[in-house]
Amino acid sequence: MTMASMVLRSRPTGLPTPENFDLVEGDLPRVVPGAALVENRYLSVDPYMRQLMDDGWALGEPFEGRSVGRVLESADPRLAVGDVVFHRGGWRTHALVDANDPQVRVLPEMDGVSLSMHLGILGGTGLTAYVGLVKIARLEQGETVFISAAAGGVGTAAGQLARMLGAGRVIGSTGSAAKARYLVEELGFDEAFNYRDAPVVDQLRAAAPDGIHVYLDNVGGDHLEAAIGSLVDHGRIAWCGAIAQYQTDSPPAAPRNLYDIAGKSLRLEGYLVREYGYLQQEWTDLVVPRLRSGQFVATETIIEGFDHIVDAFVGLLRGDNVGKMIVSVEPS
């Protein structure tokens, strides 16, 4: 058996292209004590990876990324052959994982829950929405919440969670009219708009004439400026992403109304979901029964085949996906 890895050939300018990547094939790694060989089944591609292409990933080395696979061979009793494992050895068909790595964990196989969900609604994507709305912004019943990149993995989870928490009004921005309709008709958003149709500040003001209480920010830039303008006094911003600046040589200027954070007594808090892993079981216990009952929808775009991982990644950055973008690796 052999394995394949996708490595970085060159650093992109703007949107990555296939020429920035190399597909490398080689022998399977030797299993050493304390480790296990995992055949990957699903791989996550995420917006933050575009930043790592600039200076975080070494040229010629396999990327990292959230992954789910099954143990083929093990030299540690904590990882038994056949176990389904979550780990971060992504962008490859097989990975040698360390049983002592705190990010490596054996996943339960649950009725009504697909393995891919552990990279989306049950993984860091869903947990990001949960932490942002419940722990950071502390959304309360009756409040109006605005979610940017609302048709993405975090956004689709956050909109459904906001509705479950009793939000009075859930508003989302997205990149097409079709996605906006999906958010309203399928996921229960009260209103959604295409940010390409008109300035975000004008569309948000029209969608929430009485203002918003909470903003979950996945975009930054003009979305953050618009949200600051629409937030009521003592409103809250949970800032988990800034996709607007991931593909620019220089970040966009700070919002012109940044001082309104002081003038309105707003609270803006950024966060990284990796610091909230201790809440994973709490989130799982909350959402799994609702997935089984149909109250929650695990929105996914799954691209088949490891050789299409670059297509999936570039498509994600273009906004081709609805929900979480996942690559399904064909078993060897």
Q: What is the pLDDT of residues 3-22, one digit of tens each?
A: 999 999 999 998 999 999 99
The stretch 190-201 carries a mean pLDDT of 97
The stretch 74-99 carries a mean pLDDT of 97
pLDDT beyond 90 at 245: no
The stretch 107-116 carries a mean pLDDT of 91
Class of domain 2-117+298-328: alpha beta
pLDDT of residue 252: 64
**Euclidean distance between CA atoms 239 and 247, whole angstroms:** 18
Map out the domains of the chain as residue ranges: 2-117+298-328, 124-274
Instruction: Out of 80-84, 229-233, 252-256, 265-269, pick the least confident.
Output: 252-256
**Euclidean distance between CA atoms 254 and 95, whole angstroms:** 41
pLDDT beyond 70 at 52: yes
pLDDT of residue 332: 46
Convert the pLDDT of each residue in 270-286 to its tens digit: 999 989 999 999 999 99
How large a percentage of the chain has pLDDT more than 70?
A: 96
**Euclidean distance between CA atoms 52 and 48, whole angstroms:** 7
The stretch 109-122 carries a mean pLDDT of 93
Per-residue pLDDT band for 244 (boundaries 50, 70, 90) equals low
Which of the two residues, 249 and 53, has the higher pLDDT score? 53
pLDDT of residue 242: 78
Q: Which CATH architecture has domain 124-274?
A: 3-Layer(aba) Sandwich (3.40)
The stretch 23-29 carries a mean pLDDT of 95
pLDDT beyond 70 at 327: yes
Percent of the chain that is helix, strand, coil (3-state, to 5)? 35, 25, 40
Entry pTM: 0.91
**Euclidean distance between CA atoms 80 and 135, whole angstroms:** 35
The stretch 181-204 carries a mean pLDDT of 97
Which of the two residues, 108 and 180, has the higher pLDDT score? 180
**Euclidean distance between CA atoms 303 and 313, whole angstroms:** 10
**Mind giving me the DSSP string for 77-113?**
TTS-TT-EEEES--SBSEEEEETT-TT-EEPP--TT-
Convert the pLDDT of each residue in 261-320 to its tens digit: 999 999 999 999 989 999 999 999 999 999 999 999 999 999 999 999 999 999 999 999
By C-alpha distance, which of 64, 93, 95, 74 is closest to 3?
Answer: 93
Per-residue pLDDT band for 63 (boundaries 50, 70, 90) equals confident
Residue with tokens 């052999």: 2
pLDDT beyond 70 at 96: yes
